């Protein structure tokens, strides 16, 4: 089959819609359940490339959570700490520690749960029963993977009364070297971005601090490969084997950095004792918990959560305030965070903002007329910064 008809395009008025192979070959996918749409497949094919490349670069099982053609996170299959399990709402999942692919998705989904609501999932390895159990109880549009265990398929096919989108992809598929798309009836053509990202890319350390531990190299690789499939401009914070803050599609790089840093800060704060000890009322679902935690951690709206009309509805015990000063003190202890950028930093303000969120390692192309100022700022914070020499724009 070299063509698949879709319900409609990006919007209901955009008909007809289809995906097809111009060379007449068969599509490298099989739809096992559901009816994926136009945006679903944009997410599916971009996210699959991400996890496939990340596995090649790290040798680890990988997963990504995608939303509107950008990743909310990507992660490798490292075991989760008890605190992280609770923050990701997977502390009740049996067998999690024995499934690297489930650990990878638990991390990816749990990083930015607000943005991951209704996500598309990509798995580098076979979807097993443990991973399927996590997926089954989350609001999600679909999943793409090279294979599914019999039990996993049974669980996923029961989701949405059998309408959940399940896509199997040929992991050996190699696309053609030239890619095309149309805008306003005009065809664009370019060579595929086959630029390889791995540890060999991290050798040109331009700061006084040259020390980048192996686990931090993995974090930098995660950030860079995540950026390769994120709508530009973009930066990505990574820590402990996962992307913890993605700032996508901003016209200004400092706005990318601020957005990603804010998400990274929230990821850290979600693992604080004050958040982990929140006592929700019986029957409050995960989406509501996500929203309430987000408000609780907001400097502007935390008072809503503490008000009588909200806390009595969602909590068994009234939560203690988490003051701005307390959050600042908590975040001040964070170090060892990695930051990747898809293009050079034009000003040192990006480094200043990154430092406030615990960044110790940076990877960026370099090439700005102000590189010396950016390097000097990194040196002031004791950061180790790599120039990769390669831009990673994606549109």
Q: At what angle do helices 324-332 and 253-269 cross, to 10 degrees?
A: 100
Both tokens of 305, joined, read 């959560």
Of residues 333, 362, 352, 220, the one with CA closest to residue 268: 333
Q: Does residue 102 contact residue 136 with C-beta atoms inside 8 Å?
A: no
Of residues 147, 131, 143, the one with CA closest to residue 98: 131
- For 107-206, list the strands marked E by DSSP: 119-123, 140-145, 165-169, 178-183, 186-191
Out of 52, 55, 67, 263, the active site residue is: 67
Out of 46, 165, 233, 350, the active site residue is: 233
**CA 383 and chain centroid, separation:** 24
Out of 161, 309, 333, 395, the active site residue is: 395
The residues with which 190 forms a beta bridge, in sequence order, are: 179
Q: Does residue 109 contact residue 132 with C-beta atoms inside 8 Å?
A: no
Q: Cα(371)–Cα(322) distance, rounded to whole angstroms?
A: 39
Q: Is 289 a catalytic residue?
A: no
Q: Is 395 a catalytic residue?
A: yes
Q: What 8-state DSSP symbol labels residue 240?
A: T
Q: Cα(127)–Cα(152) distance, rounded to whole angstroms?
A: 6
Q: Is 333 a catalytic residue?
A: no
Q: Cα(259)–Cα(275) distance, rounded to whole angstroms?
A: 21
Q: Cα(22)–Cα(206) distance, rounded to whole angstroms?
A: 45
Q: Which residues are catalytic?
A: 67-68, 233, 395
């Amino acid at each position: 089959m070299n063509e698949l008809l879709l319900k409609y395009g990006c919007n209901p008025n955009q008909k007809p819609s289809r995906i097809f192979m111009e060379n007449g070959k068969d599509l490298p996918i099989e739809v096992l359940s559901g009816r994926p749409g136009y945006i679903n497949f944009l997410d599916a094919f971009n996210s699959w490339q991400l996890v496939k490349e990340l596995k090649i670069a790290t040798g680890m099982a990988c997963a990504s959570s995608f939303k509107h053609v950008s990743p909310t996170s990507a992660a490798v299959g490292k075991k989760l700490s008890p605190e992280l399990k609770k923050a990701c709402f997977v502390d009740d999942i049996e067998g999690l520690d024995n499934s690297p692919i489930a650990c990878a998705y638990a991390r990816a989904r749990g990083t930015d749960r607000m943005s991951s609501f209704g996500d598309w999932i990509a798995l580098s390895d076979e979807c097993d029963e443990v991973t399927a159990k996590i997926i089954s109880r989350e609001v999600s549009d679909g999943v793409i993977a090279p294979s599914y265990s019999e039990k996993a398929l049974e669980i996923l096919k029961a989701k949405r009364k059998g309408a959940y989108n399940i896509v199997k992809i040929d992991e050996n598929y190699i696309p053609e070297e030239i890619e095309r798309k149309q805008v306003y009836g005009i065809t664009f053509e370019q060579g595929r971005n086959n630029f390889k990202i791995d540890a060999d890319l991290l050798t040109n350390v331009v700061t006084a601090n040259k020390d980048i531990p192996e686990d931090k190299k993995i974090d930098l690789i995660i950030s860079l490969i995540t950026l390769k499939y994120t709508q530009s401009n973009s930066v990505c914070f990574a820590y402990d084997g996962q992307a913890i803050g993605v700032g996508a599609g901003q016209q200004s790089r400092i706005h990318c950095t601020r957005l990603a840093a804010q998400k990274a800060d929230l990821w850290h704060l979600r693992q604080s004792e004050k958040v982990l000890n929140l006592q929700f009322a019986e029957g409050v679902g995960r989406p509501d918990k996500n929203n309430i935690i987000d408000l609780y951690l907001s400097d502007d709206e935390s008072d809503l959560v503490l008000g009588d009309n909200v806390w009595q509805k969602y909590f068994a015990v009234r939560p203690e305030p988490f003051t701005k000063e307390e959050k600042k003190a908590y975040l001040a202890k964070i170090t060892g965070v990695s930051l990747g950028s898809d293009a050079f930093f034009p000003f040192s303000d990006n480094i200043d903002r990154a430092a406030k969120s615990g960044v110790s390692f940076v990877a960026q192309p370099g090439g700005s007329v102000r590189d010396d100022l950016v390097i000097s700022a990194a040196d002031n914070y004791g950061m180790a910064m790599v120039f990769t020499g390669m831009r990673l724009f994606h549109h």
